[in-house]
Structure 1
Amino acid sequence: MVECEENGHYGRQASFDIADAALVLCDAHGRVESWPEGAERLLGHPAADVVGQSVTALLAPQDAERVPALAEECRARGGWSGPLTARRKDGGLVGVAVQLALVSDGTGRPHWLVAAVEALPLQGWTMSRPVMERMLMQTPVGMAVVDTDLRFIWSNTALERFGGGPGRQRIGRRLREVQPGLDSDALEAQMRQVLETGVPVIGHEHIGRPRSEPEQVRAHAMSFVRLEDGNGRPFGVCYTVTDITERYRNRQRLLLLDRAGQDIGRTLDVMRTAQELADVAVPDLADFVAVDLVDSVIQGGEPLTGPPGDAEMVALRRGGQQSAREGIPEAVIGVGDLASYHAWSPPIRALADGKSWRVEWLDPLGAEWAADIPGGRRARMRAMGLHTAMVVPIRARGTTMGVTSFFRSEQGEPFTEDDLRLAEEFVARAALCVDNARRYTREREAALTLQRSLLPHGVLEQSALSLATCYRPADELAGVGGDWFDVITLSGARLALVVGEVRGHGIGAIATMGRLRTAVQTLAALDLRPEELLAHLDDLVSRVSEEGSDPPGPDTGVVGTSCLYAVYDPVGRRFTAASAGHPAPAIVAPDGTASFAEVPVGPQLGVSGLPFEAVEVPVKEGSVLALYTDGLLAGVERGGPRGPAQQRLLEALTAPGDSLDALCESVIGTLVPERPFDDVTLLLARTRGLAPDRFASWELASDPAVVGRAREMAAAQLAEWGLVELEFTTELVVSELVTNAIRYGTGPIRLRLILEHTLICEVCDGSSTSPYLRHPRTTDEGGRGLFLISQFTHRWGTRYTTDGKIIWAEQLLG
């Protein structure tokens, strides 16, 4: 043993075992004769560089000069000990505590034996082994040493607090024997890694249930360091354990709040938001969570206006639930079902008071839960072991919309006040999302109701066309748009098919859609050609835009609206269409081939004021016309006017189907995603030609003598159709219209009768002069013809053609 006195900045070195020292043998002249591994580890010099060299070369200059004096002192006193400054191989200096002794070999030759250990740069402090042992035993950090077989050879008192029994019972045993409830394989894998590599593991976090507290989950921070003997051979691992449970729980709470902020409220659907709330809380906070909402909240209505009475039963609807145990239902109530609670039960107390409720142990669940729900809920939940509970009201903006119930099983810890505060925090976040979804549901339902009122309420079956329609609004994030369709009955047994799309979403777009649909119906009543109708509609849009009277709303307005207007004539079996920025319709022939009609696409309404162009397309009987809005192709990859989206539409239209309605649903199901981000409108029409025996036409000379002949031919045709009861009024109409055509029009003159759902009489001439209805005085001798026609027929009117006009009148059958 050696005692070092103070010298310079090096302090007194505590006593050291000779086994810990580097032993160097020198000859009488101070030349190194042996250089062990311990000396090489201490100073870094290999033996080949040192053996045969003077020991003074290994010392700092000031200490090298002292070597002769130290040798004399050692001879005089029989030995010497003290601090010296040695030089490392890298040039650095290190303080060493040295013990010097004079020895001789068997021949009597003298040698110097030098024992050296590194001196600690601590001033005035000495630590003995007993002091070190007491410090290690009294530290609050759990410590243990295991051998290379991972069996305990030492542990301190603090480790007993982490389970496993007293230290003396650990000796010779492995961790899996001491703590069977922990993940011992993973911990021993860490120890083996440290033994093999020598790289320490610092701050390894372990979560488990220690033997001392099997009902609680604890978190520990563990560090592992390899221990080596004087020769550098590993003889074990020292590990430390620190309890970080509180820090771990705080971190988990923050992570749970962060996940709640990310995962709750991703949609504007009340039920989905409630389910997201349940999903977030399981299993990190509870083993079973049930979210019950006031039924009116799910429908977008207002919550309860006041607390329930003492004996009142309150009906809540299950908005969502989640369990930590897969496949085992913890409640007899399914999502979407009604759950009735007594007014005095905890959920309704929380609902009425707006305050949270917590109980540490429900054994057996308490009388307050006994009669809440029929079907054995109490027995079911007791059998599942759910007996510690919290009930937190879902409250936002001063109203309570429901309650969230949290349960833990028997194996878990009872809920604490910290758990209750955590539950209240993220339920409060979820409550804002639920209230936003409730408000949006109400507004969306109002928008949908308005839109349904503005769209056709069913399309009447026509003899000229079989019709099928489908409208699907955009999802809740995009909002309801301004798409519309219409089927308008025109004169001459013709039908107008209209599809339009207003830019933007919301109430403003719906209001604009209603205004434009009304305008189209008004213009269609004038029997305008498609390109003329769109021109008038374009003027209207431009005028409204200039007046700044667009309905308010983001990205909504009449400018930029698209519209397709097509007129089908069952007599000529053709349709005439014009487009204002709207996709061309598709045509499926009776043989199953599909193509797009070559309809020129003009500018959108209110954009440029350029004229529109109409084309006349002949179609075979039994063909299917498909008119649609752009949202139908929104979920399909685009690629130009005839890209993949359009090709998929044609393929969907040629799919086999039992009916037109089935084909309509099939096309929507194929092309439209589950949650479309744009409104989708599809109008299908299967053409029917008017049979030749359902109409008759005659060319008439411009001679007053043909008026009588015209009446006779009309009467004969009515007799053939079995409409003798309409003979008088029809002869009156024919006589008046033919006479006016001869008197005021130009040739040629044509008379046509059409029998559809009404009897239609048409007289065509080459003049563009329009007749007008007069109200003659009693003394007038003429001017009563159109007045009589208006009184005896259902309706009458004039439509213009490229070479003249047609005056028509309709009579109801029967």
Structure 2
Amino acid sequence: MDTQEPTSELPDQPLTAVGYAGVLRELLPVALWRTDGQGRLVEWSLAAQDLLGHTPEELLGRHVVPALVPEANWDLAVQLEQRVLAGEAVVGTLPVRHRDGHFVPMEMWICPSVDPQGDMGVMVIAMETSAVRSMRSSLAALEGLFTQSPIGLAILGPDLRYLRVNDALARMNGVPAAHHLGKRPTEVVPGVNVEALEALMRDVLDHGEAVVDVRGTGRTPADPGRDRMWSCSFAPLLDGSGRSLGLIASLIDISDQEEARSRADRAQERFAVLAEAGARIGTTLDLRQTAEEVVEMLVPRVADSADVQLLEEVLGPDEAAASSQGVVRRMAAVFPDPDAPTAKLGVGMTFQVPIGSVYQRVIAEGRPLNLYLSDLPTLFPGPQGEPLRTYFADRIACARLIPLLARGKVLGGVVLTRTHGREPFDEQDRVLIDELVARAALNIDNALMYTSQREAALTLQRSLTNSTLPAVTGLELNGCYLPASDHEVGGDWFDVIALPDGRTGLVIGDVMGHGIHAAAVMGQLRTAVRTLARHHIPPAEMLCSLDAAVADLGENEMATCVYAVHDPASGDCLIARAGHPPPAVVAGREVVFLHGPPGTPLGAGGAEFRTERVTLAPGALLVLYTDGLIEARDRDVDEGMRQLARALTHLDRPLDEICDRVIGRLLPAAAQDDVAVLLARRLPHRSA
């Protein structure tokens, strides 16, 4: 190639320093300088000044080697200069002297260049090595991020059109990356809530603040049959001067995580509902209240309506079961929908389960089934079923029939519905519903068993307890029995026996426990007393016999008792106690509680019972009572006896009024235990 010898003369006028492009200045500042054929600097760029500190005035006209090259590299610099002047371009990394004396490693491209005089000189394009490496790393990282990241990435311009899209985002959207470029998100994925997302992007561009973890939802061509969810973040893309270049968007598909979280949340909610149901259902053993608690638990939390129905054969007596096969009675129902034909769905109404219907299958098979439109004609047959068929067809989105199955026996069924506008029952809903109804069935079965036992106990107690007291010589009588509640029957009782010799046997007792067993034991004791009394058995011997009878019933049986025999001729009463509260004798305004031997409860065995003699003056009152009258959680026995003494006044009143006054004063609220009271007032001699 042609070469020219450099001259030793300087140019008449040094060239002006060269400027540089903004992008290069911001991203990778490029320094440029040029020498003439004599190796003297004739150009020095502003970027070179920024990087190396030398001003053009300090360098132009000086020889480049001593000015910029470390002394140890002078020979190398001369060799390179000669190669370039010979027409060769050289690339390498060389240190360059900074104005403050330290050396800056720089990546260089050294190439021949004609100087203003027409001679061959050298032009150097140089970049700081650390900046080159940093940019190389940044570009590699950006490229790797875009090509390898599983996160969807996109760069959008200020007009919100795609400039670059990685393959991960292209797969999420189901649209090739090339088909994104130049388009807006609304044009690429219209099935997603992109209008709201674009509004957020504009806010990012306007305010320069990133937005993190915004939910994108919808369907894309990648999965058109399923709603998906993305976590979207948008950050502004700015140049070194703060000018907006657009924004970068990152998207993470969180559909599976959200679905798993939703399942976990629903499972947690299901457990919470089941726990709440355990506390809210079966608070009493009242059958109707238990059924009402079931529907209150289900609506509206689980369903839009709930209907609890029991088979008549499990509600009615055994002899009626044969005639009530397949008949159900509505025990509780909630139908908040104003369009529901509630006139046909009243609580207490009965109806025959249609033969061949889905309801009959549920009852027969004991497993839950969904209700479909095809089931309506058989479930609601005939003209009278038309309103229900129409209502179900028009308003109900889904319905489920669940058997009330407890201890292997179907008790009835529960019908649940959801109206249109609410999601149909899914698998988790069905699991929850079936579990709730299964638990409710056990509570209902407990209520049924309790109701049956209570009815049996009441029947037995009514059959064994005098409804009217006999007329006896020398005494006016009155008594009452008060159970602890409408749901509980105990073993308290009293009786009056007219003895063959004109005397009167008075007895009151309390069998430990409640329910049909206590009532049965009470019946046996009452029968034993009546049988023994007519054989003129004295009170102490009577209690000995009763003690043996209770012991024969089992070691866990126990009862208390008072037995008294009144002689109308003398007014004397012989009284013996077996662990029972002391009787009271009221004469005038004085109340005395007997202090004779209390004895031990019946069934303890081996006890000796003693007799106490009390003479009743004309008009005097003998009061026998069970411990439920004087004992309570908020008072002790002594206080109860003091209150009883204060209540036993005004003996001139009828005995029923005195009895009511005693009960009202000592039991202002519901009784905490069974109570029995027997009053015997001695009549004046003229009435004997």
Which of 541, 551, 558 does residue 547 from structure 2 map onto? 541
Say if 2:408 is the partner of 1:405.
no
Aligned match of 1:690:
684
Query: How much does 1:470 deviate?
Result: 1.6
Aligned match of 1:298:
315
| 1:251-650 matched pairs, under 5 angstroms | 251-299=268-316, 301=318, 314-323=326-335, 330=342, 332-343=344-355, 345-360=357-372, 368-369=379-380, 371=382, 378=388, 385-386=395-396, 388-416=398-426, 419-462=429-472, 464-472=475-483, 480-490=489-499, 493-505=502-514, 508-527=517-536, 529=538, 533-538=539-544, 541-542=547-548, 545=551, 549-551=552-554, 556-557=556-557, 560-569=558-567, 575-586=573-584, 596=593, 598=595, 600-605=597-602, 606=604, 609-616=607-614, 618=616, 621=619, 625-633=622-630, 635-639=632-636, 641-643=637-639, 645-647=640-642
Query: How much does 1:297 deviate?
Result: 1.5
Query: How much does 1:291 deviate?
Result: 0.8
C-alpha change, 1:400 and 1:228, in structure 2 (3 Å) is same
Contact 1:343 1:349 in 2 (8 A): no
Cα distance in 2 for residues equivalent to 1:416 and 1:239? 30
Deviations 1:485-511, CA, capped at 9 Å, x for gaps: 211123665433211122334555444
Aligned match of 1:761:
none
Contact 2:453 2:515 in 1 (8 A): no
Local SS of the residue matching 1:556: coil
Aligned match of 2:153:
132
Cα distance in 2 for residues equivalent to 1:402 and 1:367? 18
Cα distance in 1 for residues equivalent to 2:499 and 2:444? 49
Cα distance in 1 for residues equivalent to 2:24 and 2:514? 86
> For residue 579 of structure 2, what is the amino acid of its counterpart?
G
Query: How much does 1:439 deviate?
Result: 3.5
Contact 2:329 2:349 in 1 (8 A): yes
Contact 1:292 1:403 in 2 (8 A): yes
> For residue 271 of structure 1, what is the amino acid of its counterpart?
R
> For residue 103 of structure 2, what is the amino acid of its counterpart?
A
C-alpha change, 1:323 and 1:543, in structure 2 (3 Å) is closer
Contact 1:465 1:686 in 2 (8 A): yes
- Tell me how many residue pairs correspond in the alignment: 541
| 1:710-789 matched pairs, under 5 angstroms | none
| 1:29-108 matched pairs, under 5 angstroms | 71-74=103-106, 78-82=126-130
Contact 1:393 1:403 in 2 (8 A): yes
Cα distance in 1 for residues equivalent to 2:513 and 2:642? 27
> For residue 492 of structure 2, what is the amino acid of its counterpart?
D
Cα distance in 2 for residues equivalent to 1:556 and 1:503? 9
Local SS of the residue matching 1:271: helix
Deviations 1:405-451, CA, capped at 9 Å, x for gaps: 11222322334465445433332333333334334433443344334
Cα distance in 1 for residues equivalent to 2:446 and 2:51? 92
Query: How much does 1:466 deviate?
Result: 3.2
Contact 2:314 2:321 in 1 (8 A): no
Contact 1:358 1:389 in 2 (8 A): yes
Query: How much does 1:469 deviate?
Result: 1.9
Aligned match of 1:182:
none
Local SS of the residue matching 1:503: strand
The structure number with the bigger radius of gyration is 2
> For residue 609 of structure 1, what is the amino acid of its counterpart?
A
Local SS of the residue matching 1:504: strand
Query: How much does 1:616 deviate?
Result: 1.4
> For residue 689 of structure 1, what is the amino acid of its counterpart?
L
Contact 2:186 2:194 in 1 (8 A): no
Cα distance in 2 for residues equivalent to 1:487 and 1:577? 14
> For residue 80 of structure 1, what is the amino acid of its counterpart?
E
C-alpha change, 1:18 and 1:247, in structure 2 (3 Å) is farther
> For residue 307 of structure 2, what is the amino acid of its counterpart?
A
Cα distance in 2 for residues equivalent to 1:406 and 1:491? 67
RMSD: 5.9
Cα distance in 1 for residues equivalent to 2:321 and 2:25? 83
Q: Which moved more, 1:376-385 or 1:432-441?
A: 376-385
Deviations 1:714-760, CA, capped at 9 Å, x for gaps: xxxxxxxxxxxxxxxxxxxxxxxxxxxxxxxxxxxxxxxxxx5xxxx
Cα distance in 2 for residues equivalent to 1:579 and 1:228? 97
Deviations 1:628-670, CA, capped at 9 Å, x for gaps: 222345554232x312x44555667679999655765676677
Query: How much does 1:287 deviate?
Result: 1.0
> For residue 541 of structure 1, what is the amino acid of its counterpart?
D
C-alpha change, 1:550 and 1:304, in structure 2 (3 Å) is closer
C-alpha change, 1:526 and 1:283, in structure 2 (3 Å) is same
Cα distance in 2 for residues equivalent to 1:673 and 1:17? 96
Deviations 1:492-531, CA, capped at 9 Å, x for gaps: 65433211122334555444433332333344334455xx
C-alpha change, 1:210 and 1:391, in structure 2 (3 Å) is farther
Contact 1:260 1:426 in 2 (8 A): yes
> For residue 507 of structure 2, what is the amino acid of its counterpart?
V
Cα distance in 1 for residues equivalent to 2:334 and 2:672? 29
Local SS of the residue matching 1:438: helix
> For residue 289 of structure 1, what is the amino acid of its counterpart?
A
Cα distance in 2 for residues equivalent to 1:323 and 1:131? 49
Query: How much does 1:168 deviate?
Result: 3.9
Aligned match of 1:782:
none
Contact 1:588 1:595 in 2 (8 A): yes
Aligned match of 1:727:
none
Q: Which runs of 5+ in 1 are unaligned?
A: 1-14, 20-25, 30-66, 85-96, 100-116, 142-153, 175-194, 213-217, 309-313, 695-755, 757-814
C-alpha change, 1:210 and 1:131, in structure 2 (3 Å) is closer
C-alpha change, 1:543 and 1:316, in structure 2 (3 Å) is closer
Aligned match of 2:162:
none
C-alpha change, 1:225 and 1:306, in structure 2 (3 Å) is farther
Cα distance in 2 for residues equivalent to 1:569 and 1:219? 94
Report sequence identity in percent: 29
Aligned match of 1:44:
none
